Chain A
């Protein structure tokens, strides 16, 4: 079965600095990869996805993610962090052979300090 790992429970960055939230995955076939963000007391919000094509995917709020097949990674990045980016970030993966089953990582709490 597919799985996804977010190796860092917590990421702290200073406002204005670049941020990276890491995600690695394991699937049998081709992966469909997603990033979601969750603000306190809210549901998850879709940020971006990779299905096929260009390895660099651009999403909402200035976020982007790079798909790396050889390293089975899909790290989330932003060139300049904002305090308002502080939230819980989830990586998710679908396996083309189990397309209806989406697996989420445990989440990474991003804190951006002024």
Chain B
């Protein structure tokens, strides 16, 4: 158990809908990262927050957004969902900016 929690574990929704994925980092970790893992794209970095501020953006679509709250938990919002958005979404946390990341168990999103 990494200490990173993600909810929900599974999410099934329809095209065009909007969902919110939630992540609680390990106690004391200030950095939160979001990744998408799919069979054809592999593990893709989406976005990083550090102590409430956005620090880096990867291959994140404009339909997706995220934020980190004062208590350091983070939410990833996915809107206008498409079939291709079906994937595993991982959250990871680390104490700072250079440290190794600790991954949550992931949220499996299925868009029908």
Contacts and interface: CB of A to CB of B under 8 A. Distances in A.
Interface of A: 32, 34, 36, 42-46, 49, 51, 90, 94, 98-107
Contacts of B102: 46
Contacts of B28: none
B112 interface: no
B58 to A, nearest CB: 6
Given A43-B4, A102-B33, A90 B43 contact: yes
Interface of chain A, main secondary structure: strand
B105 A43 contact: yes
B56 A45 contact: no
Interface string B21-60: 0000000000001010000001101001010000110100
Contact of B55 (A32, A100, A106): A100
Please name the 9 residue pairs, one residue from A and one from B, whose CB atoms are nearest each other, closest first.
Answer: A100-B56, A43-B103, A104-B43, A44-B103, A46-B100, A106-B42, A100-B55, A43-B105, A101-B56
B42 A43 contact: no
Interface residues of B, number: 23
Contacts of A103: 45
A32 B100 CA distance: 10
B80 to A, nearest CB: 26
11 contacts: A42-B106, A43-B90, A43-B92, A44-B101, A45-B2, A99-B98, A100-B50, A100-B56, A101-B48, A103-B45, A104-B45
B109 interface: no
A106 B100 CA distance: 18
Contacts of B101: 44, 46, 102
